[in-house]
Structure 1
Amino acid sequence: MTVLAVLITLAVAATCVALTRGVSALHRGAGPGDSRALDLMEIAFLNGGPSRAVDTALTTMYFDGRLAIGGPGIASARSAVAHDPVERAVLTELAAAPNGALHILRYAVMGNAAVQEIGDGLAFRGLMVPPGAGRAWRAGGTVLAMLCLIGLPAAFVAAVTASFAGASVGVFLALVLPTLITGLVFGCVIAGRANARVTPAGRAAAAAYALAHADRPAPAYLVAVHGLGALPDPLLQDQLRTAARLTPGRPRVSSPSGSNDSSYLAGAMVWCGSSSGHAS
């Protein structure tokens, strides 16, 4: 029983070390961690993924009069001027939208290549983890946690059975129980860490940007850095929150022209609606 306890302890410890190294390497990023010249859309993407970037663009265009948003959640363009690719995507998708519904527009722009490429660029620079890169480590953490959870009652059953056979089980339980509990907690933590999209370099870049522009009261900045909860216009906040609730979690991918582009879809990393592991 003691030999079995030692083997279980060594197996759990080795698994924990391997998972820690893997997730740490994942979050160091494949790129240089270059945070120079981040613009507002990149900061929005770091803080909340495609949805935050789109909300930032919609807020900018609404407050400078280029976009009208009225009830019940209908958007219309007042100007054809776009200051960046995301705003251009808003105008393109709005022109293709059948009724100007805000949640449909938001969903379409989230999947537009102009927005998706922001995530690709941040991942290339080591500020975000590409979609799917942490799947194996997340699965590893989950499997470790499940095996340790199953192992706890199994260890008690084995100890009781061995005690009836006259074997000493004190050392076995003293080694195995703390090991399994540690593995259970560690597996859950690793699975959560592997699910985080923003690397430490990305979090540092977002924090540095927020600190450097703390005196910037523009609504779009507040949305990009703090989310819709910081939006000073309650009517617009309500419209965007409603649109967010109606927006599906995973956007399609479209070309900048608004049409479906299967070649882009085949080779691109499709970013989900928000960046897990950082701001909501």
Structure 2
Amino acid sequence: MTVLALLITLAVVVASVVLTRGVTAVRRSANGSGGGSVHDVMEAAFLNGGPSRTVDTALAAMRQDGRLAIGGPGIVSARSTVTRDPVERAVLQELGAAPNGALHTLRHAVMRSSAVQEVGDSLAFRGLMVPPHAGHNWRTRSHILTLACVLGFPAAVVVSFVEDSSIPFVVKILPALIVGIASGAGNASRAAARVTPAGRAAAAAYRIAHAYRTDAGHLVALGGLRALPDPELQAQLQAAARQTPTSRTTRAGTTSSTSDSSMYAAAGVVVWCASSGPGGSSCGSSGDSGSGSGSGYDSGSGSGGSSCSSSSGSSCSSSSGSSCGGGSSCSSSS
């Protein structure tokens, strides 16, 4: 049994080292040429809360200066055709195509638009974010190591009862199990994080440089909907986030949910899903995120459920009532 304990310990140590090096390599390669700065408020919003916060930023800015009217119960109408960036143009385009101007339908459609998706693409190209799916395999392996070590504890207790030894078997391998659980959980969190160190630095620099801004768009981009000074608009956007369904079944029959903040590639097309959760990524919402840390997409918090998908021929959702979540697969809509 002593030999078995040594072999288990060696296996856990080797697995932990391999996982740590693998996740580190993914994070390092994602940094690419070293990042750079945040170009505009939409990129800042994407870093801090993903596609959902990017859309909320555009809606808040357009509502504040009167270009959009949002009445009860969550009906949007355009008051001007003036736009300042591609995301705002997508808002007007999707509003024109919306059958009834419902805020939650519009919000979901814009998250799926190419304008919002390309914000994530640009950040990833510059090394500020990890490309979708890049760390998926390492995250899965980290979960496997964690689970194996957790299950190994009761198994070791059973072996201790049948083993005739002065030192129980569980005591012999307990340090290795603890190391394996810590390594697996830590590397899973690192593999799930979407914002690179360069991205966090860029988000923090943008926050400092624009600390004087008090307009609604910047407040939402940096602090989420809780930072909005307009309680009526805040309530409407929060309600829109909650109205977006949080689960769906893909064409392949796989049920997906918004429990974990992941991003996917469907049919070879880069897809950035919405929101952020602690240590992970999500296809949930960041619509009510109150995080003001500036640490980015992998450290915000959100409420409500929302999803997004690429509008270029593939999707994580086929309608406004669908979403993708951690561990699920997305299917092409083409």
Whether TM-score is above 0.5 comes out as: yes
CA distances 1:161-206 after superposition (whole Å, capped 9, x unpaired):
121xxxx251744430121122123212222221111111111111
The unaligned stretches of length 5 or more in structure 2 are 249-264, 282-297, 302-334
Report the equivalent of 1:184. 181
Name the CA distance, whole Å, in 2 between partners of 1:32 and 1:234. Answer: 42
Q: Does 1:279 align with 2:276?
A: no
Report the equivalent of 1:216. 213
Which structure would you say has the larger RCO, counting Cα contacts within 8 Å and 6 or more residues apart? 1
Name the CA distance, whole Å, in 1 between partners of 2:103 and 2:80. Answer: 17
The unaligned stretches of length 5 or more in structure 1 are 252-263
Identical counterparts, % of pairs = 61
Residue aligned with 1:75, SS: strand
Q: How does the TM-score come out when normalised to structure 1? A: 0.89
Relative to structure 1, is the Cα distance of residues 265 and 19 closer, same or farther in structure 2, using a 3 angstrom cutoff? closer
Relative to structure 1, is the Cα distance of residues 207 and 16 closer, same or farther in structure 2, using a 3 angstrom cutoff? same
Q: Does 1:129 align with 2:150?
A: no
Name the CA distance, whole Å, in 2 between partners of 1:179 and 1:5. Answer: 9
Report the equivalent of 1:234. 231
Relative to structure 1, is the Cα distance of residues 207 and 30 closer, same or farther in structure 2, using a 3 angstrom cutoff? closer
Is the deviation greater in 132-141 or in 68-77?
132-141
Q: How does the TM-score come out when normalised to structure 2? A: 0.75
Conservation of the 8 A alpha-carbon contact between 2:31 and 2:128: no
Report the equivalent of 2:191. 194
Name the CA distance, whole Å, in 1 between partners of 2:166 and 2:74. Answer: 66
Residue aligned with 1:269, SS: strand
Report the equivalent of 2:110. 109
Cα RMSD after superposing both structures: 1.9
Amino acid across the alignment from 1:198: V
Residue aligned with 2:194, SS: coil
Q: Between Structure 1 and Structure 2, which shows a larger proportion of helix residues?
A: 1
CA distances 1:117-140 after superposition (whole Å, capped 9, x unpaired):
111111111111122112111111
Conservation of the 8 A alpha-carbon contact between 2:48 and 2:300: yes
CA distances 1:16-67 after superposition (whole Å, capped 9, x unpaired):
1111112222222152232235211001000000001000011111111110
Superposed displacement of residue 71, structure 1:
0.5
Q: Does 1:2 align with 2:14?
A: no
Name the CA distance, whole Å, in 1 between partners of 2:43 and 2:246. Answer: 20
Conservation of the 8 A alpha-carbon contact between 2:55 and 2:107: yes
Conservation of the 8 A alpha-carbon contact between 1:50 and 1:271: yes
Conservation of the 8 A alpha-carbon contact between 2:19 and 2:187: yes
Name the CA distance, whole Å, in 2 between partners of 1:41 and 1:248. Answer: 25
Residue aligned with 2:80, SS: coil
Q: Does 1:26 align with 2:47?
A: no
Name the CA distance, whole Å, in 2 between partners of 1:15 and 1:126. Answer: 28
Relative to structure 1, is the Cα distance of residues 77 and 194 closer, same or farther in structure 2, using a 3 angstrom cutoff? same
Conservation of the 8 A alpha-carbon contact between 1:106 and 1:247: no
Report the equivalent of 2:331. none
Conservation of the 8 A alpha-carbon contact between 1:33 and 1:125: yes
Q: Which is higher, the Rg of structure 1 or of structure 2?
A: 1
Give 4+ residue runs of structure 1 displaced > 4 Å after superposition: 248-251
CA distances 1:82-110 after superposition (whole Å, capped 9, x unpaired):
11100000000000000000000000000
Conservation of the 8 A alpha-carbon contact between 2:128 and 2:197: yes
Relative to structure 1, is the Cα distance of residues 37 and 159 closer, same or farther in structure 2, using a 3 angstrom cutoff? closer
Residue aligned with 2:271, SS: coil
Name the CA distance, whole Å, in 1 between partners of 2:190 and 2:247. Answer: 21
Residue aligned with 2:211, SS: coil
Is the deviation greater in 211-220 or in 139-148?
211-220
Residue aligned with 2:163, SS: helix
Residue aligned with 1:217, SS: coil
Conservation of the 8 A alpha-carbon contact between 1:126 and 1:201: yes
Name the CA distance, whole Å, in 2 between partners of 1:250 and 1:271. Answer: 17
Kindly report which structure 2 residues correspond to 1:52-131, keeping only aligned pairs within 5 A, or say none.
52-131=53-132
Report the equivalent of 1:49. 50
Relative to structure 1, is the Cα distance of residues 169 and 113 closer, same or farther in structure 2, using a 3 angstrom cutoff? farther
Name the CA distance, whole Å, in 1 between partners of 2:122 and 2:246. Answer: 21
Relative to structure 1, is the Cα distance of residues 19 and 120 closer, same or farther in structure 2, using a 3 angstrom cutoff? same
Aligned positions, number: 264
